[in-house]
């Protein structure tokens, strides 16, 4: 398999993190201002890592500077599925929730 060359996009480590620089031609082609583009790339990246199970919603929210519910809202806004349960998993979760609620609800 061939190697991909990133001729104009660059990355560097900064403050314990990674900075990725896009050429201004990308912003022009996308017709976006730098702030909106940066936010979109960050949400898309964190959303992808979350969808792959590589990142928790709590950590992603922390990186974005928001709470989990705002992160979930952003996921939906950017086209990610917030809940991805199989039918049997969803039924199990519902059953378990009802059992727990019955235990903590006073008679």
Question: In this structure, is residue 73 part of a structural domain?
Answer: yes
The arithmetic mean of pLDDT across residues 66-75, rounded, is 92
For residue range 89-98, what is the model confidence (pLDDT) as tens digits?
778 888 888 8
Number of domains in the chain: 1
The CA radius of gyration of the chain, in Å to the nearest whole number, is 20
What is this structure's pTM? Answer: 0.64
Cβ partners under 8 Å of residue 18, min gap 6: 11, 12
Question: In this structure, is residue 5 part of a structural domain?
Answer: no
Task: Look up the domain containing 37 and give its range.
Answer: 10-82
Question: In this structure, is residue 49 part of a structural domain?
Answer: yes
Question: In this structure, is residue 22 part of a structural domain?
Answer: yes
Cβ partners under 8 Å of residue 55, min gap 6: 46, 49
Residue 40 sits at φ, ψ, to 5 deg, of -65, -45
Residue 19 DSSP one-character state? E
Question: Is a pLDDT exceeding 90 seen at residue 14?
Answer: no
pLDDT of residue 4: 37
Question: In this structure, is residue 57 part of a structural domain?
Answer: yes
Question: In this structure, is residue 1 part of a structural domain?
Answer: no
pLDDT band at 12 (very low <50, low <70, confident <90, very high): low
Question: In this structure, is residue 46 part of a structural domain?
Answer: yes
């Amino acid at each position: 398999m061939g190697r991909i060359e990133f001729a104009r996009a660059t990355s560097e480590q900064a403050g314990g993190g990674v900075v990725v620089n896009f050429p201004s031609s990308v912003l022009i082609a996308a017709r976006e201002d730098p702030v909106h583009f940066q936010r979109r790339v960050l949400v898309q990246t964190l959303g992808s890592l979350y969808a792959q199970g590589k990142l928790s919603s709590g950590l992603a929210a922390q990186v974005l500077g928001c709470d989990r519910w705002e992160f979930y809202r952003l996921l939906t806004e950017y086209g990610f599925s917030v809940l991805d349960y199989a039918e049997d998993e969803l039924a199990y979760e519902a059953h378990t929730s009802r059992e727990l609620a019955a235990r903590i609800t006073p008679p």
